[in-house]
Amino acid sequence: MDNIYMYGDINPDNDDDLDMIFNQELIDSNEDTPCFVPSSFDYDKAEIIAIDNIVKRSPTWKPIKWFKWNYTLIGKPSKVVCCKVTTNILANCNV
């Protein structure tokens, strides 16, 4: 259970849920290791605009922006489980 950051109902449009997401330290705050999201990502419309048929990405250190991008990728479910996954676990995944 130490690796679980949050689980259950989630509403990224609710201020209390946004505060909780922000305080979970889901991304590394180190300036050398940003997370990337499409620069033209629109959360409300759940769309990305390609420029010259290329999706441009931009670095972010904003946990809300990063969470909303990943939340949209999985279809904006009403319930989520966010847990820490090490590269070692990912390397041994049989998908």
pLDDT at residue number 4? 81
Distance of CA 78 to the CA centre of its chain: 15
pTM of the predicted structure, to 2 decimals: 0.78
Domain boundaries, the chain: 4-91
Q: Is there a contact between 64 and 94 (Cβ–Cβ < 8 Å)?
A: no
The amino acid sitting at 31 is: E
Distance CA 68, CA 46 (A): 10
Q: What is the dihedral of CA 44, 45, 51, 54, to 10 degrees?
A: 90
In tens, the pLDDT along 14-71 reads: 999 899 888 887 776 666 777 889 988 999 999 998 988 999 999 888 889 988 999 9
Give the residue from 6, 9, 1 showing the smallest Cα distance to 63.
6
